[in-house]
Structure 1
Amino acid sequence: MLTPSADTFAALARSSPWRWSTLRFTVRRGRDERRVQPIRAWLRRPDLLRVETLDGELHRIVREAPERAGVLHGDGGVAPVLRPDGLVAERPRVSYDAPMLDDYRWVALLDPVELADGIDHDSWTTAPPLVVDSVTEVEHAGRPAWEAVVRTTPAYEPRCGCCSLLRSREVDVVEYRDYPEHLLSGYPDAYRVRLDVGTGVCVFTDEIGIRTPGGWHDLAIEAVDEPMADELFVEPPRRLFRRP
Protein backbone atom coordinates (compact mmCIF):
# COMPACT_ATOMS: atom_id res chain seq x y z
CA MET A 1 0.00 0.00 0.00
CA LEU A 2 1.31 3.43 -0.94
CA THR A 3 1.94 5.93 1.83
CA PRO A 4 1.47 9.63 1.00
CA SER A 5 4.59 11.77 1.33
CA ALA A 6 6.39 14.38 -0.76
CA ASP A 7 8.58 11.64 -2.26
CA THR A 8 5.75 9.26 -3.14
CA PHE A 9 3.66 12.16 -4.49
CA ALA A 10 6.45 12.93 -6.96
CA ALA A 11 6.84 9.25 -7.86
CA LEU A 12 3.09 8.91 -8.48
CA ALA A 13 3.15 11.98 -10.74
CA ARG A 14 5.99 10.34 -12.67
CA SER A 15 4.14 7.02 -13.06
CA SER A 16 0.92 7.81 -14.90
CA PRO A 17 1.75 6.35 -18.37
CA TRP A 18 2.29 2.91 -16.80
CA ARG A 19 -0.77 2.83 -14.51
CA TRP A 20 -3.58 2.75 -17.07
CA SER A 21 -4.26 1.89 -20.70
CA THR A 22 -7.75 3.34 -21.22
CA LEU A 23 -9.53 6.11 -19.36
CA ARG A 24 -13.06 7.52 -19.45
CA PHE A 25 -13.54 10.81 -17.63
CA THR A 26 -15.22 14.19 -17.51
CA VAL A 27 -13.23 17.38 -17.10
CA ARG A 28 -13.81 21.08 -16.68
CA ARG A 29 -10.82 23.33 -17.28
CA GLY A 30 -9.97 26.90 -16.40
CA ARG A 31 -11.91 30.05 -15.73
CA ASP A 32 -11.86 30.98 -19.41
CA GLU A 33 -15.46 31.14 -20.68
CA ARG A 34 -14.51 29.07 -23.74
CA ARG A 35 -13.68 26.07 -21.55
CA VAL A 36 -16.10 26.36 -18.67
CA GLN A 37 -18.45 23.73 -20.11
CA PRO A 38 -17.40 20.21 -19.05
CA ILE A 39 -16.68 17.50 -21.60
CA ARG A 40 -16.51 13.71 -21.52
CA ALA A 41 -13.53 11.89 -23.02
CA TRP A 42 -12.57 8.32 -23.91
CA LEU A 43 -8.80 7.86 -24.23
CA ARG A 44 -7.07 4.69 -25.40
CA ARG A 45 -3.30 4.71 -25.19
CA PRO A 46 -1.23 5.44 -27.09
CA ASP A 47 -3.01 7.36 -29.82
CA LEU A 48 -6.83 7.54 -29.68
CA LEU A 49 -9.19 10.09 -28.12
CA ARG A 50 -12.92 10.71 -28.40
CA VAL A 51 -14.45 13.87 -26.90
CA GLU A 52 -18.16 14.61 -26.46
CA THR A 53 -20.30 17.14 -24.68
CA LEU A 54 -22.07 15.80 -21.60
CA ASP A 55 -25.22 15.65 -23.75
CA GLY A 56 -23.53 13.14 -26.05
CA GLU A 57 -22.73 15.40 -29.00
CA LEU A 58 -19.44 14.46 -30.67
CA HIS A 59 -16.88 17.23 -30.28
CA ARG A 60 -13.73 15.68 -31.73
CA ILE A 61 -11.90 12.49 -32.65
CA VAL A 62 -8.13 12.68 -32.22
CA ARG A 63 -5.80 10.08 -33.71
CA GLU A 64 -2.08 10.58 -33.05
CA ALA A 65 0.82 8.17 -32.75
CA PRO A 66 3.59 8.91 -30.24
CA GLU A 67 6.21 6.41 -29.21
CA ARG A 68 4.48 3.62 -27.33
CA ALA A 69 4.03 3.79 -23.56
CA GLY A 70 3.72 0.54 -21.63
CA VAL A 71 1.41 -0.01 -18.68
CA LEU A 72 2.33 -1.78 -15.48
CA HIS A 73 0.18 -4.80 -16.31
CA GLY A 74 2.19 -5.18 -19.50
CA ASP A 75 1.62 -4.54 -23.20
CA GLY A 76 5.11 -4.73 -24.63
CA GLY A 77 5.83 -1.04 -24.08
CA VAL A 78 8.99 0.66 -22.89
CA ALA A 79 9.82 -0.27 -19.30
CA PRO A 80 10.74 2.38 -16.70
CA VAL A 81 12.92 1.87 -13.63
CA LEU A 82 10.58 1.02 -10.75
CA ARG A 83 10.88 1.67 -7.03
CA PRO A 84 10.21 -1.11 -4.48
CA ASP A 85 6.65 0.24 -4.04
CA GLY A 86 5.95 -0.16 -7.77
CA LEU A 87 6.02 3.53 -8.66
CA VAL A 88 8.40 4.90 -11.28
CA ALA A 89 11.85 6.01 -10.15
CA GLU A 90 13.18 6.89 -13.61
CA ARG A 91 11.38 7.23 -16.93
CA PRO A 92 12.67 6.19 -20.36
CA ARG A 93 13.44 9.10 -22.69
CA VAL A 94 10.44 8.66 -24.97
CA SER A 95 7.39 10.80 -25.71
CA TYR A 96 3.97 10.32 -24.12
CA ASP A 97 2.43 13.57 -25.40
CA ALA A 98 -0.37 12.27 -27.62
CA PRO A 99 -3.26 12.30 -27.99
CA MET A 100 -3.62 16.00 -27.23
CA LEU A 101 -6.69 18.22 -27.06
CA ASP A 102 -6.24 21.98 -27.57
CA ASP A 103 -2.99 22.47 -25.63
CA TYR A 104 -0.25 20.86 -23.56
CA ARG A 105 -2.09 21.43 -20.29
CA TRP A 106 -4.35 18.57 -21.43
CA VAL A 107 -1.28 16.37 -21.82
CA ALA A 108 0.15 17.47 -18.48
CA LEU A 109 -2.94 16.69 -16.43
CA LEU A 110 -3.01 13.15 -17.85
CA ASP A 111 0.75 12.69 -17.40
CA PRO A 112 1.84 15.18 -14.71
CA VAL A 113 5.57 14.39 -14.76
CA GLU A 114 6.29 18.14 -14.55
CA LEU A 115 5.25 17.86 -10.88
CA ALA A 116 7.95 15.23 -10.30
CA ASP A 117 11.08 16.15 -12.23
CA GLY A 118 12.45 19.63 -12.92
CA ILE A 119 15.68 20.98 -14.38
CA ASP A 120 18.46 22.86 -12.61
CA HIS A 121 19.39 25.38 -15.31
CA ASP A 122 22.88 25.91 -13.90
CA SER A 123 23.93 22.26 -14.03
CA TRP A 124 21.24 20.92 -16.42
CA THR A 125 20.54 18.08 -14.03
CA THR A 126 17.24 16.84 -12.63
CA ALA A 127 16.03 18.82 -9.63
CA PRO A 128 12.81 19.02 -7.57
CA PRO A 129 10.26 21.26 -9.32
CA LEU A 130 8.15 21.76 -6.20
CA VAL A 131 8.37 22.49 -2.51
CA VAL A 132 5.71 20.21 -1.03
CA ASP A 133 4.24 21.68 2.16
CA SER A 134 1.82 18.82 2.89
CA VAL A 135 0.29 15.68 1.38
CA THR A 136 -3.02 14.30 2.63
CA GLU A 137 -5.33 11.46 1.63
CA VAL A 138 -8.64 12.66 0.18
CA GLU A 139 -11.43 11.38 -2.05
CA HIS A 140 -12.02 12.82 -5.50
CA ALA A 141 -15.05 11.79 -7.57
CA GLY A 142 -15.41 8.69 -5.41
CA ARG A 143 -11.80 7.56 -5.83
CA PRO A 144 -8.76 7.70 -3.50
CA ALA A 145 -6.54 10.71 -4.20
CA TRP A 146 -3.64 12.59 -2.64
CA GLU A 147 -3.85 16.34 -2.21
CA ALA A 148 -0.64 18.33 -1.89
CA VAL A 149 -0.09 22.00 -1.12
CA VAL A 150 2.91 22.98 -3.21
CA ARG A 151 5.04 25.91 -4.37
CA THR A 152 7.10 25.92 -7.56
CA THR A 153 10.89 26.16 -7.53
CA PRO A 154 13.09 27.70 -10.26
CA ALA A 155 13.54 24.12 -11.55
CA TYR A 156 9.84 23.75 -12.45
CA GLU A 157 9.83 22.86 -16.15
CA PRO A 158 6.36 22.50 -17.71
CA ARG A 159 5.89 20.81 -21.07
CA CYS A 160 4.90 24.18 -22.49
CA GLY A 161 5.42 27.49 -20.74
CA CYS A 162 2.17 28.97 -22.04
CA CYS A 163 -0.03 26.20 -20.58
CA SER A 164 1.66 24.79 -17.49
CA LEU A 165 -0.27 23.03 -14.75
CA LEU A 166 1.00 25.63 -12.26
CA ARG A 167 1.46 29.16 -13.56
CA SER A 168 4.51 30.84 -12.04
CA ARG A 169 6.40 34.06 -12.60
CA GLU A 170 9.69 32.24 -13.28
CA VAL A 171 8.16 30.31 -16.17
CA ASP A 172 6.33 33.35 -17.56
CA VAL A 173 9.48 35.50 -17.58
CA VAL A 174 11.15 32.96 -19.86
CA GLU A 175 8.08 32.18 -21.97
CA TYR A 176 7.14 35.82 -22.56
CA ARG A 177 10.58 37.45 -22.61
CA ASP A 178 9.69 39.08 -25.94
CA TYR A 179 6.11 39.83 -24.89
CA PRO A 180 6.30 41.31 -21.37
CA GLU A 181 2.71 42.52 -21.62
CA HIS A 182 1.65 38.91 -20.94
CA LEU A 183 3.25 38.91 -17.48
CA LEU A 184 0.72 39.11 -14.66
CA SER A 185 0.69 41.76 -11.95
CA GLY A 186 0.71 38.99 -9.35
CA TYR A 187 1.05 35.23 -9.07
CA PRO A 188 -0.34 32.55 -6.73
CA ASP A 189 1.32 32.05 -3.35
CA ALA A 190 0.88 28.27 -3.59
CA TYR A 191 -1.24 25.60 -5.27
CA ARG A 192 -3.50 22.72 -4.28
CA VAL A 193 -2.89 19.69 -6.48
CA ARG A 194 -4.63 16.30 -6.42
CA LEU A 195 -3.39 13.06 -7.97
CA ASP A 196 -5.62 10.04 -8.44
CA VAL A 197 -3.82 7.24 -6.58
CA GLY A 198 -4.84 4.48 -8.99
CA THR A 199 -3.77 6.20 -12.21
CA GLY A 200 -1.41 9.05 -11.29
CA VAL A 201 -3.59 11.46 -13.27
CA CYS A 202 -3.73 15.04 -11.98
CA VAL A 203 -7.45 15.33 -11.25
CA PHE A 204 -7.52 18.79 -9.67
CA THR A 205 -5.52 22.00 -9.42
CA ASP A 206 -6.38 25.27 -7.75
CA GLU A 207 -4.44 28.35 -6.74
CA ILE A 208 -3.95 29.82 -3.28
CA GLY A 209 -3.84 33.60 -3.10
CA ILE A 210 -3.98 35.28 -6.50
CA ARG A 211 -5.89 33.29 -9.10
CA THR A 212 -5.08 33.26 -12.82
CA PRO A 213 -7.61 32.81 -15.68
CA GLY A 214 -6.56 29.27 -16.60
CA GLY A 215 -5.22 27.95 -13.32
CA TRP A 216 -7.90 25.44 -12.40
CA HIS A 217 -9.27 22.10 -13.54
CA ASP A 218 -11.47 19.35 -12.11
CA LEU A 219 -11.35 15.88 -13.66
CA ALA A 220 -13.65 13.02 -12.62
CA ILE A 221 -12.56 9.52 -13.61
CA GLU A 222 -15.49 7.29 -14.58
CA ALA A 223 -13.68 4.12 -15.71
CA VAL A 224 -10.13 2.77 -15.95
CA ASP A 225 -8.93 0.06 -18.35
CA GLU A 226 -12.38 -0.70 -19.74
CA PRO A 227 -12.44 -2.16 -23.29
CA MET A 228 -12.71 0.51 -26.00
CA ALA A 229 -13.51 -0.73 -29.50
CA ASP A 230 -11.93 0.78 -32.60
CA GLU A 231 -15.36 1.96 -33.74
CA LEU A 232 -15.49 4.43 -30.85
CA PHE A 233 -12.72 6.44 -32.50
CA VAL A 234 -14.11 6.64 -36.04
CA GLU A 235 -15.42 9.91 -37.43
CA PRO A 236 -19.08 9.63 -38.51
CA PRO A 237 -19.66 10.01 -42.26
CA ARG A 238 -20.26 13.56 -43.36
CA ARG A 239 -23.55 14.36 -45.02
CA LEU A 240 -23.24 15.72 -48.55
CA PHE A 241 -24.78 19.11 -49.17
CA ARG A 242 -27.23 19.07 -52.02
CA ARG A 243 -28.75 22.08 -53.66
CA PRO A 244 -32.56 22.13 -53.55
Structure 2
Amino acid sequence: MAQLDGTGVFPDPEHAPGKELMGHFRRLARSSPWLWDTVQFTIAATDAEQRTLAFATPGLAKHLTVLIRRPDAIRVEDDAGAVLFRTEHINDSRDGRFVAATRKSWLLPPQLLSPVYGDDGLVSRRPEAAYVNELMPVGLWSAFLDPVEVAGFAPGPADMAFPHPSTIRSLRVIIDEAGRECLEAVLSRGHSYSPLLPEAPLLGTGMTRIRLDRATGICVLRQVLDGPGAGVEHRILITATDQYMIDGLFTQPQASLSDMRLAPLWPIPDLTEDSPDAARHRDGPAA
Protein backbone atom coordinates (compact mmCIF):
# COMPACT_ATOMS: atom_id res chain seq x y z
CA MET A 1 0.00 0.00 0.00
CA ALA A 2 1.40 3.37 -1.02
CA GLN A 3 2.18 5.87 1.71
CA LEU A 4 -0.04 8.96 1.79
CA ASP A 5 1.05 12.51 2.40
CA GLY A 6 -1.03 15.09 4.26
CA THR A 7 -2.87 16.25 1.13
CA GLY A 8 -3.93 12.68 0.32
CA VAL A 9 -5.24 12.06 3.80
CA PHE A 10 -7.01 15.40 4.25
CA PRO A 11 -7.92 17.06 0.93
CA ASP A 12 -8.65 20.27 2.89
CA PRO A 13 -5.92 20.44 5.58
CA GLU A 14 -7.36 23.62 7.08
CA HIS A 15 -10.49 21.71 8.09
CA ALA A 16 -8.74 18.53 9.22
CA PRO A 17 -10.09 17.24 12.57
CA GLY A 18 -8.01 17.94 15.65
CA LYS A 19 -5.85 15.23 17.20
CA GLU A 20 -7.88 15.31 20.42
CA LEU A 21 -11.18 14.69 18.61
CA MET A 22 -9.63 11.88 16.56
CA GLY A 23 -8.28 10.29 19.73
CA HIS A 24 -11.72 10.64 21.33
CA PHE A 25 -13.29 8.88 18.32
CA ARG A 26 -10.86 5.96 18.56
CA ARG A 27 -11.35 5.61 22.32
CA LEU A 28 -15.13 5.65 21.81
CA ALA A 29 -14.77 2.83 19.27
CA ARG A 30 -12.99 0.74 21.94
CA SER A 31 -15.47 1.46 24.75
CA SER A 32 -18.75 -0.19 23.78
CA PRO A 33 -18.45 -3.31 26.02
CA TRP A 34 -18.28 -1.07 29.11
CA LEU A 35 -20.91 1.54 28.13
CA TRP A 36 -24.13 -0.53 28.16
CA ASP A 37 -25.64 -3.79 29.39
CA THR A 38 -28.91 -3.98 27.41
CA VAL A 39 -29.98 -2.28 24.21
CA GLN A 40 -33.00 -2.25 21.91
CA PHE A 41 -32.73 -0.94 18.38
CA THR A 42 -34.17 -1.21 14.88
CA ILE A 43 -31.93 -1.89 11.89
CA ALA A 44 -32.62 -1.22 8.22
CA ALA A 45 -30.59 -1.29 5.01
CA THR A 46 -30.81 0.66 1.74
CA ASP A 47 -29.14 0.30 -1.65
CA ALA A 48 -27.30 2.92 -3.71
CA GLU A 49 -30.62 4.47 -4.84
CA GLN A 50 -31.77 4.76 -1.21
CA ARG A 51 -34.35 2.02 -1.74
CA THR A 52 -35.07 -0.07 1.33
CA LEU A 53 -33.67 -3.58 1.15
CA ALA A 54 -35.81 -6.37 2.58
CA PHE A 55 -34.18 -8.87 4.91
CA ALA A 56 -34.20 -12.54 3.96
CA THR A 57 -36.97 -13.40 6.41
CA PRO A 58 -40.26 -15.27 5.86
CA GLY A 59 -42.16 -11.99 5.45
CA LEU A 60 -39.28 -10.08 3.77
CA ALA A 61 -39.20 -7.54 6.59
CA LYS A 62 -38.03 -4.00 5.75
CA HIS A 63 -36.55 -3.50 9.22
CA LEU A 64 -35.80 -5.66 12.24
CA THR A 65 -36.11 -4.97 15.95
CA VAL A 66 -33.24 -6.37 18.01
CA LEU A 67 -33.04 -6.78 21.79
CA ILE A 68 -29.68 -7.66 23.32
CA ARG A 69 -28.74 -8.35 26.92
CA ARG A 70 -25.07 -8.92 27.49
CA PRO A 71 -23.28 -11.25 27.42
CA ASP A 72 -25.28 -13.61 25.19
CA ALA A 73 -29.05 -13.03 25.16
CA ILE A 74 -30.54 -11.97 21.79
CA ARG A 75 -34.04 -11.54 20.37
CA VAL A 76 -34.88 -10.50 16.80
CA GLU A 77 -38.37 -9.52 15.60
CA ASP A 78 -39.66 -8.55 12.16
CA ASP A 79 -41.62 -5.36 11.49
CA ALA A 80 -44.87 -7.15 12.40
CA GLY A 81 -43.54 -8.22 15.80
CA ALA A 82 -43.07 -11.90 14.94
CA VAL A 83 -40.04 -13.50 16.61
CA LEU A 84 -37.46 -14.56 14.02
CA PHE A 85 -34.61 -15.54 16.31
CA ARG A 86 -33.90 -15.74 20.00
CA THR A 87 -31.45 -17.38 22.35
CA GLU A 88 -32.44 -20.96 23.09
CA HIS A 89 -30.78 -21.17 26.49
CA ILE A 90 -29.11 -18.70 28.83
CA ASN A 91 -26.23 -19.48 31.19
CA ASP A 92 -25.76 -23.01 29.88
CA SER A 93 -23.05 -25.17 31.36
CA ARG A 94 -19.74 -24.67 29.59
CA ASP A 95 -18.21 -27.93 30.73
CA GLY A 96 -17.64 -29.05 27.14
CA ARG A 97 -15.71 -25.89 26.29
CA PHE A 98 -13.62 -26.08 29.43
CA VAL A 99 -12.73 -29.70 28.77
CA ALA A 100 -11.39 -28.60 25.39
CA ALA A 101 -8.77 -26.65 27.39
CA THR A 102 -8.16 -24.08 24.69
CA ARG A 103 -7.00 -20.62 25.64
CA LYS A 104 -10.09 -19.05 24.11
CA SER A 105 -12.44 -21.16 26.24
CA TRP A 106 -11.11 -19.54 29.43
CA LEU A 107 -11.50 -15.91 28.35
CA LEU A 108 -13.81 -13.83 30.57
CA PRO A 109 -16.55 -11.46 29.38
CA PRO A 110 -15.15 -7.91 29.07
CA GLN A 111 -17.60 -6.61 31.69
CA LEU A 112 -15.67 -8.60 34.32
CA LEU A 113 -12.36 -6.95 33.40
CA SER A 114 -11.05 -3.42 33.81
CA PRO A 115 -9.57 -1.63 30.78
CA VAL A 116 -7.18 1.32 30.83
CA TYR A 117 -9.18 4.55 30.59
CA GLY A 118 -8.20 7.88 29.09
CA ASP A 119 -8.79 11.31 30.59
CA ASP A 120 -12.21 11.49 28.89
CA GLY A 121 -13.43 8.33 30.64
CA LEU A 122 -13.27 6.20 27.49
CA VAL A 123 -11.12 3.13 26.91
CA SER A 124 -7.55 3.72 25.83
CA ARG A 125 -6.34 0.12 26.04
CA ARG A 126 -8.50 -3.02 26.11
CA PRO A 127 -7.68 -6.27 27.93
CA GLU A 128 -7.90 -9.66 26.27
CA ALA A 129 -11.44 -10.96 26.74
CA ALA A 130 -14.28 -12.86 25.05
CA TYR A 131 -15.54 -10.07 22.82
CA VAL A 132 -17.18 -11.93 19.92
CA ASN A 133 -20.70 -13.21 20.56
CA GLU A 134 -20.84 -16.51 18.69
CA LEU A 135 -24.65 -16.59 18.94
CA MET A 136 -25.11 -13.41 16.88
CA PRO A 137 -27.34 -14.35 13.90
CA VAL A 138 -25.59 -11.88 11.55
CA GLY A 139 -21.81 -11.51 11.76
CA LEU A 140 -21.76 -7.84 10.76
CA TRP A 141 -23.94 -7.01 13.77
CA SER A 142 -21.03 -7.91 16.06
CA ALA A 143 -19.01 -5.16 14.38
CA PHE A 144 -21.90 -2.69 14.77
CA LEU A 145 -22.17 -3.42 18.49
CA ASP A 146 -18.41 -3.30 19.08
CA PRO A 147 -16.62 -1.30 16.34
CA VAL A 148 -13.17 -1.72 17.91
CA GLU A 149 -11.69 -2.84 14.57
CA VAL A 150 -11.59 0.78 13.31
CA ALA A 151 -9.37 1.82 16.23
CA GLY A 152 -7.52 -1.27 17.43
CA PHE A 153 -7.32 -2.65 20.96
CA ALA A 154 -4.65 -0.13 21.96
CA PRO A 155 -3.03 3.04 20.59
CA GLY A 156 -0.62 2.36 17.76
CA PRO A 157 3.18 2.70 18.13
CA ALA A 158 4.28 6.31 18.02
CA ASP A 159 7.25 5.51 15.74
CA MET A 160 5.03 4.32 12.88
CA ALA A 161 3.93 6.71 10.15
CA PHE A 162 0.40 5.24 10.04
CA PRO A 163 -0.05 3.35 13.33
CA HIS A 164 -3.85 3.08 13.31
CA PRO A 165 -6.03 0.39 11.67
CA SER A 166 -8.00 3.10 9.85
CA THR A 167 -7.27 6.54 8.48
CA ILE A 168 -9.71 9.29 9.45
CA ARG A 169 -10.47 11.45 6.40
CA SER A 170 -13.12 13.63 8.05
CA LEU A 171 -14.75 13.78 11.46
CA ARG A 172 -17.63 15.76 12.93
CA VAL A 173 -20.09 15.81 15.83
CA ILE A 174 -23.75 15.47 14.79
CA ILE A 175 -27.20 14.76 16.23
CA ASP A 176 -28.89 11.77 14.56
CA GLU A 177 -32.57 11.20 13.73
CA ALA A 178 -33.28 9.94 17.26
CA GLY A 179 -31.80 13.09 18.82
CA ARG A 180 -28.69 11.25 20.02
CA GLU A 181 -25.22 12.82 19.85
CA CYS A 182 -22.85 10.96 17.55
CA LEU A 183 -19.38 11.16 16.04
CA GLU A 184 -19.40 10.64 12.26
CA ALA A 185 -16.21 9.91 10.35
CA VAL A 186 -15.18 8.97 6.82
CA LEU A 187 -12.58 6.22 7.12
CA SER A 188 -10.35 4.12 4.92
CA ARG A 189 -8.46 0.96 5.79
CA GLY A 190 -4.95 1.27 7.17
CA HIS A 191 -1.99 -1.12 7.03
CA SER A 192 -2.96 -2.87 10.27
CA TYR A 193 -6.71 -3.08 9.70
CA SER A 194 -8.00 -6.44 10.95
CA PRO A 195 -11.79 -7.05 11.00
CA LEU A 196 -13.29 -8.52 14.13
CA LEU A 197 -14.80 -11.16 11.83
CA PRO A 198 -12.84 -11.62 8.57
CA GLU A 199 -16.01 -12.52 6.67
CA ALA A 200 -17.84 -9.38 7.84
CA PRO A 201 -15.56 -6.30 7.77
CA LEU A 202 -17.00 -3.02 8.97
CA LEU A 203 -14.89 -0.97 6.52
CA GLY A 204 -15.10 -1.46 2.78
CA THR A 205 -12.07 -1.49 0.51
CA GLY A 206 -12.57 2.21 -0.30
CA MET A 207 -14.07 4.99 1.79
CA THR A 208 -16.69 4.16 4.41
CA ARG A 209 -18.79 6.56 6.48
CA ILE A 210 -19.08 5.36 10.10
CA ARG A 211 -21.24 7.00 12.77
CA LEU A 212 -20.75 6.09 16.45
CA ASP A 213 -23.36 6.77 19.11
CA ARG A 214 -21.55 8.81 21.75
CA ALA A 215 -23.41 7.28 24.73
CA THR A 216 -23.02 3.60 23.80
CA GLY A 217 -20.17 3.38 21.27
CA ILE A 218 -22.46 1.44 18.90
CA CYS A 219 -22.03 2.00 15.16
CA VAL A 220 -25.41 3.40 14.10
CA LEU A 221 -24.52 4.15 10.47
CA ARG A 222 -22.37 2.30 7.95
CA GLN A 223 -22.32 3.70 4.41
CA VAL A 224 -19.93 2.41 1.75
CA LEU A 225 -18.92 5.44 -0.34
CA ASP A 226 -16.91 3.79 -3.13
CA GLY A 227 -15.54 0.49 -4.26
CA PRO A 228 -17.50 -2.79 -4.12
CA GLY A 229 -20.92 -2.30 -2.54
CA ALA A 230 -20.83 1.47 -2.98
CA GLY A 231 -24.01 3.12 -1.77
CA VAL A 232 -25.13 0.29 0.50
CA GLU A 233 -26.12 1.72 3.85
CA HIS A 234 -27.03 0.19 7.21
CA ARG A 235 -28.82 2.34 9.79
CA ILE A 236 -29.47 1.56 13.43
CA LEU A 237 -31.99 3.50 15.49
CA ILE A 238 -31.43 3.00 19.23
CA THR A 239 -34.76 3.04 21.08
CA ALA A 240 -33.72 1.98 24.60
CA THR A 241 -30.58 1.28 26.62
CA ASP A 242 -29.99 -0.39 29.99
CA GLN A 243 -33.61 -1.35 30.50
CA TYR A 244 -34.42 -4.45 32.54
CA MET A 245 -35.01 -7.44 30.26
CA ILE A 246 -36.34 -10.70 31.71
CA ASP A 247 -35.15 -14.13 30.59
CA GLY A 248 -38.53 -14.85 29.01
CA LEU A 249 -37.83 -12.32 26.25
CA PHE A 250 -34.95 -14.43 24.99
CA THR A 251 -35.52 -18.08 25.88
CA GLN A 252 -37.74 -20.46 23.99
CA PRO A 253 -41.03 -21.23 25.80
CA GLN A 254 -40.99 -24.57 27.58
CA ALA A 255 -43.89 -26.96 27.03
CA SER A 256 -45.87 -27.67 30.22
CA LEU A 257 -48.22 -30.51 31.15
CA SER A 258 -51.14 -28.13 31.45
CA ASP A 259 -51.78 -24.41 31.43
CA MET A 260 -54.77 -23.57 33.60
CA ARG A 261 -54.94 -20.09 32.12
CA LEU A 262 -56.28 -21.64 28.92
CA ALA A 263 -59.53 -23.49 29.66
CA PRO A 264 -59.90 -26.73 27.67
CA LEU A 265 -62.79 -26.87 25.23
CA TRP A 266 -64.95 -29.94 25.90
CA PRO A 267 -67.47 -30.86 23.16
CA ILE A 268 -71.06 -30.96 24.48
CA PRO A 269 -73.68 -32.73 22.33
CA ASP A 270 -76.78 -30.90 21.17
CA LEU A 271 -79.35 -32.31 23.63
CA THR A 272 -83.10 -32.63 22.98
CA GLU A 273 -85.88 -32.97 25.54
CA ASP A 274 -86.61 -36.65 24.88
CA SER A 275 -83.08 -37.96 24.49
CA PRO A 276 -81.55 -40.27 27.13
CA ASP A 277 -78.55 -37.95 27.39
CA ALA A 278 -80.82 -35.02 28.23
CA ALA A 279 -82.44 -36.95 31.05
CA ARG A 280 -79.11 -38.00 32.43
CA HIS A 281 -77.79 -34.42 32.45
CA ARG A 282 -81.05 -33.02 33.85
CA ASP A 283 -82.28 -35.51 36.46
CA GLY A 284 -79.53 -38.06 36.83
CA PRO A 285 -79.52 -41.57 35.30
CA ALA A 286 -82.14 -42.19 32.62
CA ALA A 287 -85.00 -44.60 33.52
TM range (shorter): 0.7 to 0.9
Residue 67 (str. 1) matches residue 103 (str. 2):
no
Q: Secondary structure at the match of 1:11?
A: helix
Residue 25 (str. 1) matches residue 41 (str. 2):
yes
Match of 1:107 in 2: 142
Match of 1:13 in 2: 29
Separation in structure 2 between the aligned mates of residue 150 and residue 159 of structure 1, nearest angstrom: 16
Q: Which runs of 5+ in 1 are unaligned?
A: 71-76, 121-125, 169-187, 240-244
Instruction: Tell me how far 1:162 sits from its aligned partner.
Output: 2.0
Match of 1:138 in 2: 174
Provide TM-score, normalisation by structure 1. 0.75
| Aligned residue type for 1:28 | A
Q: Which runs of 5+ in 2 are unaligned?
A: 1-18, 48-52, 92-106, 157-161, 257-287
Match of 1:53 in 2: 78
| Aligned residue type for 2:187 | V
Bigger proportion of residues as strand: 1
| Aligned residue type for 1:217 | H
Instruction: Tell me how far 1:159 sits from its aligned partner.
Output: 1.5
Separation in structure 1 between the aligned mates of residue 238 and residue 42 of structure 2, nearest angstrom: 7
How many residues align? The count is 206
Cα RMSD, aligned residues only: 2.8
1:20-45 C-alpha deviation (Å, 9 max, x unpaired): 00000011246565457210011001
Instruction: Tell me how far 1:167 sits from its aligned partner.
Output: 2.2
Instruction: Tell me how far 1:213 sits from its aligned partner.
Output: 7.2
Separation in structure 2 between the aligned mates of residue 128 and residue 146 of structure 1, nearest angstrom: 18
Equivalent pair of 2:63/2:79 in contact (CA under 8 Å):
yes
Quick check: which has more Rg, 1 or 2? 2
Equivalent pair of 1:100/1:106 in contact (CA under 8 Å):
no
Change beyond 3 A, Cα 1:34–1:231: closer
Equivalent pair of 1:68/1:78 in contact (CA under 8 Å):
yes
* Mean CA deviation greater in 13-22 or 130-139: 130-139
Instruction: Tell me how far 1:166 sits from its aligned partner.
Output: 1.1
Provide TM-score, normalisation by structure 2. 0.65
Point out which structure has higher relative CO (alpha carbons under 8 A, 6+ apart): 1
Equivalent pair of 2:224/2:231 in contact (CA under 8 Å):
no
